[in-house]
Structure 1
């Protein structure tokens, strides 16, 4: 790989970073939205470095063989700094191919079925706002909040309330009903954990399809933190498009 090729690889990497942040929301499939400025900054730096390397090498080529000999002579004192990098550097093109040709989707049902579930917190460390909704409308909640309330809200404020949740469908490997799930990540897709509710009163839609469901929490009889699956009784459900940001 010569210096022009090295510059081209850097430029393509930078363009890939910029295209998935400035031209689309593709980056949300892999990291939190707060990382967008850092990815944009890294993309700009890579493009500048790549273009600079290409321009400098082209200028040197235009100066003729004598300039190339001077350049080579100046780098031959004790070290070999030839114009060719290791062939393994071509592997840097794989992220570019992934973004432009493959565009891996967000994590979905397969990951949710195998990812670690969110764990209950210490009740003393959790506080909740009042559940508010427009008159005659259900309470709009994220699955993350629903699951945490179902585990830790000793006042059971969700009992008897009409609630609206949105998530994707995950099959229940144990055979009873199906899960409405949403992945939650702290930093990137690699650390994602799953929040889910078990639905048994409606047939399972196609796996990985997105739905908004309205219904009620099935209040458990025992202690909250002893419950493994949080049950949700669906009163109405509507299929929706995949959201731009699939994570919570």
Structure 2
């Protein structure tokens, strides 16, 4: 792979990164807050590619102009390794073409967010937050799965009280068929995605299928259970109404 090919790959990767950043595609890879950095990275890659092409063209032009006339006209081209050579004919190992594979994957394949299979084979990632900000007024109160779980476990539901709460997540079923409302949370990118689970009780649909997205409405429940994978605490939610919904554009929680 010569410099021009390297520049072409850099340019295409930059374009693909910008395309992902300007659409919801980037949410499959990184958390929403990293969008500005992703766009900046795409711009840097494109500028680097253009600078590489400009530098190579300038160096080739300078090399031709600095060569004596008899060397330029005798049919020999030192850039291919004849005579003394100036190193222009040196190419990177062919294995470097494997760099094109991530580009093709970025363009052609959008990896799905991990679902119930991954969630039930990983322990809950619930962690104690630094504090519990006051909740807004209104009913029902919309909360994220992670926010509800943290308040239910570490605040013992004091900030939730008997308020009507609404949440959205996908269904995960344990070996006994017990349902959990689940969301995958990110620290940085999809590679570190881990589940937060909430047990569901109350008025549930007669049949629940894994990976179905549900919007549940209900109230805080003091019931808890232990995650069989890492023995973390899983709180419960008392459901009064549940309905299937489409998966959101951003399937992760930060």
TM range, smaller chain: 0.7 to 0.9
Match of 2:210 among 207, 210, 215: 207
RMSD: 3.3
The 5 A counterparts of 1:66-85 are 66=72, 69=78, 76=85, 82-85=89-92
C-alpha deviation, 1:69, in angstroms: 2.9
Q: 2 CA distance for matches of 1:160 and 1:233?
A: 11
C-alpha deviation, 1:140, in angstroms: 1.2
TM-score, length basis structure 1:
0.79
Q: Hey, what does 1:38 align to over in structure 2?
A: 37
Residues 43 and 68 of structure 1: CA distance in aligned 2, closer, same or farther (over 3 Å): farther
Q: 2 CA distance for matches of 1:6 and 1:75?
A: 25
Q: 1 CA distance for matches of 2:134 and 2:57?
A: 65
Q: 1 CA distance for matches of 2:95 and 2:190?
A: 27
What do residues 194-220 of structure 1 show as CA deviations (whole Å, max 9, x unaligned)?
211112442453322322110122223
Q: 1 CA distance for matches of 2:20 and 2:218?
A: 36
1:120, 1:151 within 8 Å by CA — same for their partners in 2? no
What do residues 2-46 of structure 1 show as CA deviations (whole Å, max 9, x unaligned)?
332222111111111111002x12111121222222222221222
Q: Hey, what does 1:171 align to over in structure 2?
A: 173
Higher strand share: 2
TM-score, length basis structure 2:
0.78
Q: Hey, what does 2:21 align to over in structure 1?
A: 21
Structure 2, unmatched stretches of 5+, are: 66-70, 226-230
Q: How many residues align?
A: 235
2:21, 2:38 within 8 Å by CA — same for their partners in 1? yes
C-alpha deviation, 1:165, in angstroms: 0.8
Match of 1:219 among 222, 228, 235: 222
